[in-house]
Amino acid sequence: MDAVLLDTYGRVATDLRVSLTDRCNLRCTYCMPEEGLQWLAKPELLTDDEIVRLIRIAVADLGIREVRFTGGEPLLRPGLVSIVAACAELDPRPRISLTTNGIGLERTASALREAGLDRVNVSLDTLRPDVFQTLTRRKRHHDVIGGLDAARAAGLAPVKVNTVLMRGINDDEAPDLLGWALANGYELRFIEQMPLDAQHGWKRDNMVTAEEILRSLATRFSLTPEPSQDRGSAPAERWLVDGGPARVGVIASVTRPFCRACDRTRLTADGQVRTCLFAREESDLRGGLRSGASDAQVADLWRVAMWGKKAGSGLDDPSFLQPQRPMSAIGG
């Protein structure tokens, strides 16, 4: 079989998102309930060696060129630094990034950079500590700011900041957030709230849309769209701010889906392949690993899983149903 992850629509996956844990130290209202969730038991989780083996198969045998570590909160994974180091030793070496809430990044940013991490995306939805507590149910705003500073100092560039706006809570902050990001040298990306909350409380008519975000930003900044060919398979549409070179991005997964250019494959913390964030089916690789499958056999299982990828997320279909597993279990 071909050494790529191809689907029936001609898309080739070259970007692997790896969830390292379903656990998180925040309780964001758009992700999970205040009491948290029933976490995966340790025997269900992939071991560090199993994660590294799957990434090696993906890079060496399946054409993966970028690896993004996610969670839950990936900084809660004890073996994170060694996993990153092993990934950086692969040939060809993939680009390695991390999506984190930033808590704990202040003490780990330098070690992660030395291990081979190239850059980070840090989630931060507000500049106001009281609003942060409302959104996350935790008093950790200062920790996130400290983590961002440490990431920048360690050279994990470009440091990207991911922001979700919630109606009536922080939807008035878009211009302030962009001004702050520009002053600190961060690249800000707004993400439309997606139907991936454990409570299944997401409502389309309550979501702050990309158009609303752009209108709000335009009250203070001049935005010039980047040429469409510059976007490639990136999920974010980007605009030059006040003529550039600084940019701001908007990921409009709901109102402007980008499925036709998708180049991602996803691996959950318990070893399941997901073809899409919104997929309702998964394919098991952990079982193959633990039953003695060869690298070639595991690669074939992965190819079969990706071959069945659907044309789109289905968000625009009135019959759309949320995945049973929430964002924390899937990996963003």
Tens digit of each residue's pLDDT (9 = 90 or more) over 106-163:
999 999 999 999 999 999 999 999 999 999 999 999 999 999 999 999 999 999 999 9
Assigned token pair, 71: 């969670």
pLDDT band at residue 252 using 50, 70 and 90 as cut-offs: confident
103 near 144, Cβ under 8 Å?
Answer: yes
**In this predicted structure, what is the pLDDT of residue 324?**
73
Inter-CA distances, 315 with 103, 253, 256, 259, 260, Å: 31, 9, 10, 11, 14
- How do residues 290-299 score in pLDDT, each as one tens digit? 999 999 999 9
Q: What is the mean pLDDT of the chain?
A: 91
H/E element, 240: strand 237-241
Assigned token pair, 313: 């997320």
Separation of alpha carbons 208 and 272, rounded Å? 31
Question: Mutual orientation of helices 210-217 and 174-184 as an angle, nearest 10°?
Answer: 70
**In this predicted structure, what is the pLDDT of residue 323?**
72
State the residue for tokens 């900041």.
Answer: 161
Assigned token pair, 51: 């994660």
Separation of alpha carbons 199 and 326, rounded Å? 8
Angle at 311 between CA 19 and CA 326, to 5 degrees: 30
User: Mean pLDDT throughout 178-185?
Assistant: 97
**In this predicted structure, what is the pLDDT of residue 208?**
92
Separation of alpha carbons 130 and 137, rounded Å? 10
Separation of alpha carbons 74 and 59, rounded Å? 21
Separation of alpha carbons 45 and 144, rounded Å? 27
User: Mean pLDDT throughout 206-218?
Assistant: 94
Separation of alpha carbons 266 and 21, rounded Å? 13
- How do residues 265-310 score in pLDDT, each as one tens digit? 999 999 999 999 888 899 999 999 999 999 999 999 999 999 999 9
- How do residues 29-53 score in pLDDT, each as one tens digit? 777 777 767 788 999 999 999 999 9
Starting from the edge strand earliest in sequence, which strands make up the sheet with 66-70, in order? 223-225, 237-241, 247-251, 187-191, 160-163, 119-123, 95-100, 66-70, 15-19, 264-267, 272-274, 283-284
**In this predicted structure, what is the pLDDT of residue 257?**
78
329: left (phi over 0), alpha (psi -120 to 50) or beta: alpha
pLDDT band at residue 314 using 50, 70 and 90 as cut-offs: confident
Burial class (CB in 10 A: 0-12, 13-18, 19+), 98: buried
CA Rg value for the chain: 19
